[in-house]
Amino acid sequence: MAAAAAAGHLDVCTSLLRCGCPWDASALAAAARVGHRHVCELLVSCGCHGGHFAAAAQAARGGHVQLMEWLLDRAEGGKGDVGALLAGAAAGCGLEVLQKLQGRYLGEGGGGGGAGGLGRGHGGKGLPEAERHDVVAAAAGSRTGDWRAKVLWLLAEPRCYPRGASAFEQVVVQLSTPRQQHGQDHQDHCQSASGAPTAADGDMQERLGDAMDAVVWRLQWLEGQGFPVHGAAGAINEAAVRGQVAALRFLLGRRPGAGGGGGGGGQMQLTTLLAAGAGQLPSLQVGMCAVHFYHGSMYGKSFGGRRNGEGNTACPADTLLLLLRVYLITVRNMWPWP
């Protein structure tokens, strides 16, 4: 049922309902994510009495504002997972919608709940810390043209949403995913039809040269706003798996010890293995270079810079073991055994 609802096949959904096919609120959420209001209306009329608030959050993530409001009007008691709803709006809707929902459910600045009546109005401070991080990360990875305005508005007083490393991960994930998989029906403001970045949000234009893509530009902007890029291990792994080589170089270069100092060897090894498992050869090459540089510099420091007969720092056993593991993963992916 959820698959038919997500595809918008009203006739198939009707037939499944007549046949007594089991279904639940996940079908409503699936239809809402891609904006199929006709399917949502069918499911609600056939007895879907729960999950309206969760479905509204999915509609918001897809940028379907009218459907979101329609579902919120039918939510039981008008209450639900406010954090998920705000994160969905931060990801898929404009700043005005996000501001409206913030004021309705949390209030703007410590004066108690708004019309939604949750009574936790402290500009977002009433949400659990993890959910507050999720909202900011969703705004950072948003494909709407005003994503910067949303991030800055969330960070400002009196809302004071936190700066977290998860924002970097969301940028890599969301900007690496085809727009159709997001269920968004609005224009993709990250790029125009020709693939060139746009300046939909006004004052600061994203004029990118050949050496920098939109993902790296956004990562750099977040770093400039004080987001902790040194803790973005999840973003590093996602960049490796998704083949975002420029982003991977940028993030590895910000790791502690990237210049030959402290930790980071374990992270680089994990990144390399993930890239190998995903079949991302460019990411694998970047990861292996980082591992070789790290181990070479640390080996030289630990053993007084001993060198082999050709004048190069000897390759330590850890790097050789990693090469073997990468080889085995690659062969396993290519070999036709089950």
Domains of the chain: which residue ranges? Answer: 102-162, 163-179+215-305
Q: Output the pLDDT for position 181.
A: 52
Q: Output the pLDDT for position 178.
A: 72
- Residue identified by tokens 């396993």 is 332
Average pLDDT over residues 170-181: 80
Q: Output the pLDDT for position 244.
A: 82
Average pLDDT over residues 34-47: 93
- Residue identified by tokens 């239809």 is 31
Contact 321, 265 (CB under 8 A): no
Contact 97, 153 (CB under 8 A): no
Q: Output the pLDDT for position 336.
A: 44
Q: DSSP assignment, residue 162?
A: P
Q: Output the pLDDT for position 239.
A: 83
Q: Output the pLDDT for position 300.
A: 38
Q: Output the pLDDT for position 289.
A: 53
Give the model confidence (pLDDT) of 246-258 as tens digits: 888 888 888 765 5
Confidence of residue 260 (pLDDT cuts 50, 70, 90): very low
Task: Say which amino acid occupies 93.
Answer: C
Give the model confidence (pLDDT) of 125-162 as tens digits: 689 999 999 999 999 999 999 999 999 999 999 999 99
CA dist., res. 263 & res. 124, Å (int): 35
pLDDT: which is higher, 5 or 120? 5
The pair phi, psi for residue 124, each rounded to 5°, is 105, -15
pLDDT at 293 over 70: no
How far, CA to CA in Å, does 323 sit from each of 66, 275, 284, 296, 319?
Answer: 53, 13, 11, 14, 6
Q: What are the respective helix, strand and coil percentages of the chain, to the nearest 5? A: 60, 0, 40
How much of the chain, in percent, has pLDDT values that exceed 70? Answer: 60
Which of 97, 92, 102, 194 has its CA nearest to residue 145? 92
Contact 123, 109 (CB under 8 A): yes
Confidence of residue 123 (pLDDT cuts 50, 70, 90): low
pLDDT: which is higher, 333 or 302? 333
Residues 6+ apart with CB under 8 A from 104: 114, 115, 116
Give the model confidence (pLDDT) of 181-212 as tens digits: 555 544 443 333 223 334 443 333 344 333 34
Tokens of residue 122, six digits: 């402290």
Number of alpha carbons in the 13 Å side-chain half-sphere of residue 77: 6
Number of other CB atoms surrounding residue 51 within 10 Å: 22
Average pLDDT, the chain: 73
Give the model confidence (pLDDT) of 68-110 as tens digits: 999 999 887 777 899 999 999 999 999 999 999 999 999 864 3
Tokens of residue 316, six digits: 């330590």
pLDDT: which is higher, 28 or 338? 28
Collapsing DSSP states into helix, strand and coil, what is residue 316? coil
Its sign, for the CA torsion 124, 125, 128, 134, is: positive
